[in-house]
Each structure stands twice: as C-alpha cells, then as structure tokens.
Amino acid sequence: MIERLEATLKRYNEIISELSTPEVIQDIKKMTELSREQTRLTETVELYKKYKKLVDNIEEDKELLKDLELGEFAKEELNNLNKEKEEIEDKFRVLLLPHDPNDEKNVIVEIKGAAGGDEANIFAGDLFDMYTKYAGREGWQIDVTNSIEGAAGGFTNIEFMVKGESVYSKLKYESGAHRVQRVPATESQGRVHTSTATVLVMPEADDFDFELDESEVRIDITRSSGCGGQGVNTTDSAVRLTHIPTGIIVYSQTERSQIKNKEKAFKILKARLYDLKLREKEEAEGAVRRSKIGTGDRSEKIRTYNYPQNRLTDHRIGFTSMNLDRIMDGDLGVVIEALINEDQKRKLEGEENL
C-alpha cells in the first residue's frame, strides 16, 4: 500500500510541475485532463501527508515509552495514534480502488413512462421531481433539454442535464427500471396498481472523450411543441439530430434560440454515443460488468417504490427503507450512500481475491 501511495504522491507532484509548463498551458485538452487528475488525487495525497506525520509521531512516542516520567503519557497517546492510523489505512483501501474516469462528470438523464399507461407517466414525473429535489440538496443544477408531457400528468419522456460536482459518481446507479406500487389517482375502486418508469443516466462526453464526425449527422429544424412557452412555439427553433451510422435520434426544443437547442442536442448525441462506446467496452471486458452493481441497462429492474407501506427496496443490494415519503422529497442520499458502500465493498473483495 505504501508503494502505491508513494507513486500517487510522485504523480501528483509531476502534475503540478506539468501544469506550469508552456506546452501544457497552451494545450487546453492536456490541461483539462491534468487538472481533473490532480483534483482526483488531492484527497489521497493530503491524507497520505497526514499519515506520514502520524507515523513519525508514533515512532517518537515509542521512544518516549522508555522515559520514566513521560512513559505513561506516551503509552496513552500511542494507543490513540495507532487507532487513528488504522482508520486512515481503511480509508486508503477505498481511495486506492480503481477509479471510474467518468465520476467527476455531469450527466444526461432520460426518464420514460413504461408499463402502466397514464400512471407510468405520472410516476416518471414523480421521479423527475425526486431527482430535482435531490440535486437541490447537492447544490447541482438541472437543465431540461426535452420533454413530452403525459395526458394525465407527468411525462411520457423527459431528458435533462445535471451539472455539478461529481454528479456521475452518485447518479450512475440510477439506470434501470423503477417500479411503483400504489393506488393511482385515476383508480376509482381503490386497487393498488403496479407501473414502471425507466431511467437512463449517461456521463456527459467531452470533446476528447468522443470525436463526433458531424458529416454523419443529419440536422432537421422543426417547430417546437409542448414545452418552452408560447414564444417558442411560434418559431422554427427545435432541433432534431439523427446519427446515421447508429440511427440514434435526439431532440432539443426548450430554448428559444435554435443555436442553443442545436448545442444541447449535440451534447446529448455525444453522450449517447459515448455511453454506447462504454457499454461495448464493458461487454468486451466481461468481468468488469459482472462485478458492478447492476448492468446499467434500462430494462433491469432495480427498485420498487411501495406507497401503501411507505417502503423503498433496491433489489440489487437488498436495501430497504421505510421512509419512502422522505426519499421522494429529495432524501435520495441514503439510498445512494448504501449503493456506493456496497460497490466499494465488492471492489475491495475483488482486490483481495486477485
């Protein structure tokens, strides 16, 4: 472990030196990559510096044990320092786990009403509200890029960007089928129905993550409908992009400006193609996907929201909370934390079995 920490410290110092060179200052791509790597390593480096001082203090106290006057004091302090050392070593085991290079990125989320008709669309709207409130607690921003409202409320489809610090590291566990059990507002007999909505979370793709050949993209300009306000609907401002090789289609219509809608649409398209590239890579690696929490596929049933019993269950890790009302009000962090802890546990077990 110490060898890996020394290597991390060496790399951190190399990055600081590189960031001040004229070659890097003039290369935006390289500077961005190095700055991200520096940010990612900072916590480990700062903790390692603290750890080294702690080890020095432990060695000093060991010498003081021989002192007749200070020996008892040194013994008590040594116990506390050793305990703190063990706690830091536990943190290192997590910090030194393989890093997901997308964790610090913003995300693009798509929610669709699935099985259950109007109730599925209403639930899709409830999930959007939950993520909006959770984003507010985290200090993130949400920017809707496209939405189609359901006839009885909610959305048949809504796409939005979430911008902030390390968004993907937390929301990446949300992809899959979310199932709701409750009495719909449209139900006259008081019967509990089961409906589903699907969620897809994709990391935002940087220009150097994925190079898009724009000659392979067909751009159509259409009249906006259904969102953005009356002013939008009077102009041809909506943009639809079709990626010809894959057939992927994206649509953006929330801005009054055609230029801004085009910019958003290209961000979404790049994210979709980058996500496709990541999935193909994971399929090729095989074992990586099997060790993950869930497959990340939209069809995988990941969670049940039982309203009559105020219960949420995440089926991938066997997590249950009897505070569904609080979670839907934005307290999603308790679920995310449980998923992160289980993910780290599985990775640690995988490291130990190597």
CB 135 within 8 A of CB 162: yes
pLDDT, tens digit, 9 for 90 and up, residues 39-73: 889 999 999 999 999 999 999 888 888 777 777 88
pLDDT for residue 202 is more than 70: yes
Residue matched to tokens 């589903």: 196
pLDDT of residue 201: 94
pLDDT of residue 352: 56
- Spatial distance between the Cα atoms of 350 and 233, rounded to a whole number of angstroms: 54
Share of the chain above pLDDT 70, in %: 90
Q: What is the pTM of this model?
A: 0.78
DSSP for residue 173: G
| Amino acid present at 49 | K
The CA-atom distances, in angstroms, between 163 and each of 141, 166, 327 are 5, 9, 21
| Amino acid present at 327 | I
Cβ-proximal residues to 309 (8 Å cutoff; 6+ apart), any chain = 322
pLDDT of residue 353: 53
CB 274 within 8 A of CB 209: yes
pLDDT band at 1 (very low <50, low <70, confident <90, very high): confident
- Spatial distance between the Cα atoms of 308 and 181, rounded to a whole number of angstroms: 8
- Spatial distance between the Cα atoms of 116 and 120, rounded to a whole number of angstroms: 5
| Token code pair at residue 227 | 């969102």
Dihedral of the alpha carbons of 201, 204, 209, 214, in degrees to the nearest 10: 100
pLDDT band at 225 (very low <50, low <70, confident <90, very high): low
Q: Find which of 9-23, 185-199, 269-283, 337-351 is predicted with most confidence, using mean pLDDT.
A: 9-23
pLDDT, tens digit, 9 for 90 and up, residues 69-97: 777 888 888 999 999 999 999 888 888 88
- Spatial distance between the Cα atoms of 197 and 212, rounded to a whole number of angstroms: 30
| Token code pair at residue 43 | 């916590």
Helix H or strand E segment including 91: helix 71-95
pLDDT of residue 235: 63
Helix H or strand E segment including 326: helix 324-328
- Spatial distance between the Cα atoms of 176 and 211, rounded to a whole number of angstroms: 27
Mean pLDDT, the chain, rounded, equals: 87
For the chain, domains (ranges, CATH) are 2-95 (no CATH), 107-206+285-352 (3.30.70.1660), 214-283 (3.30.160.20)
